Amino acid sequence: MIKLLISLMILINISIASDIYGGYSLSEPKSEKSIDANSSDRTDYELTASFFTNDYFTQIKRYPPIFFDGESIDSDSQEVFDQILEDLNSSDPEKSRITIIGHTAESLDKKSQVETNWFVDFFQNVATHQGDDPQKDINLSKKRGEIVFEKLLDNNVSKEIMFVSERGGKDKLYTEGVKEGRRLNNRVDVALYLIGDKDRDGVLDPYDRCPNTHPGLSVDKNGCAGSIRLDVQFALDSATVTGDNNDSVKSFANFLIKNPPYDALIVGHTDTQGRPAYNMGLSERRAEAVKNMLIEYGVDAERLKSEGKGLTEPLVNKEDVLKSKNEGKDKFEPLTKEELQKIYATNRRIEAHYFLRPEVVKKKQKPKAPRLRLKP
């Protein structure tokens, strides 16, 4: 019976691997303020816990634990360490990030134990050892993380890609009902994160301010293509252009005619009024109408594409404006009709994105993108 109970107590309880906790980097001191993903200070953001909770990665590889005996790495864990180095050497350093999380067995100070039945007391007594202290656990787990960090550093792994965290005895990988379980919880967990580029524009996802760039666009360092807003007026609930003031469309047509390496994507957007499916179709028809205008002004049809985004990409959100308007106020104030109309007008738009054709992008020397300014 006792053997069965002990066997049950030593079953492995795998911790939730996707959880990344607050920590620190040994490469840079961290400020307490939160850092935006688009921060120009890339090192600061990359080495904070919040960075690893985003959907930036094409692969996350979690290694078997590196076990410790006191403050020394267990000799059996050298193979795990060697595998980490091998994977790093075969990965692109620009896309690789490493998390190093130190752990200890849980502190079971007898003064903090809750009185319970003899069975629980028995296993607590087996698991408790003299010297348990929560702060010492934190210090020890921090020390273990730093040992792995230094060992990777000695093997030419850049400190700029490593994030270190200490968790003390908060995250058990093995049950601590028996002494062996406590020993195995003295460990460091290491994971390798490979950053992706979902829209394949050459700008990695954490720094891409335009994450859904249309295929083939030539982008700047922020992942954004050349883009302007065309001042086109449409009849209500229609794709028919109204008025004769189409100077912005004419100017853009002249730009394309004078710069033959560039093609264009015309994108239609609507506001949030109406049904999403209907608005999507309306935005597509309006983008197609502007595309046809450019063709009439002399642009080759093969250089143009159009698509609709409906209400999926608003420039201004009502919720954000409402929150900003009421920030710090005791009495709630709704948006006025004029404020709503201004938001709707901002989001109803036609955008023109201009980009190098694929065969031009493939050349070693890309022509410098001209600056486009539309006269009023």
Q: What is the CATH number of domain 205-361?
A: 3.30.1330.60
β-partners of residue 219 are: 225
The pair phi, psi for residue 122, each rounded to 5°, is -60, -50
Region 106-116: mean pLDDT is 50
* DSSP three-state, residue 373: coil
Q: What CA–CA distance (Å, rounded) separates 274 from 331? A: 30
* DSSP three-state, residue 190: strand
**What superfamily would CATH give domain 2-195?**
OmpA-like domain (3.30.1330.60)
All CATH 3.30.1330.60 domain ranges of the chain, comma separated, are: 2-195, 205-361
pLDDT at 132: 53
pLDDT at 280: 95
Neighbour-count burial of 42, counting CB atoms closer than 10 A to its CB (0-12 exposed, 13-18 middle, 19+ buried): middle
Taking only the tens place, the pLDDT of each residue in 302-338 is 999 999 999 998 989 999 999 999 998 889 999 999 9
Q: What is the pTM of this model?
A: 0.52
Comparing 199 with 279, which gets the higher pLDDT?
Answer: 279
Q: What CA–CA distance (Å, rounded) separates 362 from 376? A: 35
The pair phi, psi for residue 288, each rounded to 5°, is -65, -35
Q: Given 3-state DSSP classes, what are the helix, strand and coil percentages for the chain, each rounded to the nearest 5?
A: 40, 20, 45
Q: What CA–CA distance (Å, rounded) separates 124 from 118? A: 10
Task: Spell out the alpha helix ranges (H) of the chain.
Answer: 2-9, 42-46, 78-89, 118-127, 134-154, 179-184, 247-258, 276-296, 318-326, 337-347, 358-361
**Contact assessment for residue 230 and residue 351, using Cβ atoms and an 8 Å cutoff:** yes
> How many other C-beta atoms are found inside a 10 Å radius of the C-beta of residue 183?
16
Q: What CA–CA distance (Å, rounded) separates 33 from 36? A: 10
Comparing 185 with 79, which gets the higher pLDDT?
Answer: 79
- Structure token digits, residue 345: 């007008």
Rg (CA), the chain: 29
